[in-house]
Amino acid sequence: MRPPQKRIDFQRDDKVEVCSNEEGFIGSYYEATVVSHLDNGLYMVRYKTLLEDDESQPLTETLFPKELRPVPPRVHSSNFSLYQCVDAFDNDGWWVGRITGQSDSSHYLVYFESSNEEIAYHSSKIRVHHEWLHGEWILSD
């Protein structure tokens, strides 16, 4: 039996990532800032890259705590290994994939199982993947 997920009480201005549960976006994470912790236990967040429908300002949403996680530790790397699990920044969010090759000294091919796509990214748009498990960041294999 797995231990229960450790609960984090985020505070105003905390940087977080929001897990998307929308079809076509499952497994992607979007950077946001906590605006407030509501009396009903929900959080209001303001996204860093997502905009309101009229594109006039950053999107603000009210979310359940289970949809939030702290920002993962940044492991600075410009060299990735074949089949290494990484996150690639695309379409305003971070997407989980695996390194499948290198097209030149600074561009890597990343394969996304969820969409069966392979896309080249500059190393600056790739980060080492971590999993948030039981209140701790675990380096993914």
**Cα separation values, 23 from 15, 35, 49, 64, 125, Å:** 25, 26, 19, 18, 23
Domain that includes residue 115, residue range: 85-139
Cα separation, 60 vs 69, in Å, equals: 17
pLDDT 10s digits, 25-48: 887 999 999 999 999 999 999 999
Judge if pTM exceeds 0.75.
yes
Report yes or no on 118 lying in a domain: yes
Report yes or no on 104 lying in a domain: yes
pLDDT 10s digits, 108-119: 999 999 889 999
pLDDT 10s digits, 40-69: 999 999 999 999 999 999 999 999 999 999
* Co-location of 90 and 65 in the same domain: no
Domain count, the chain: 2
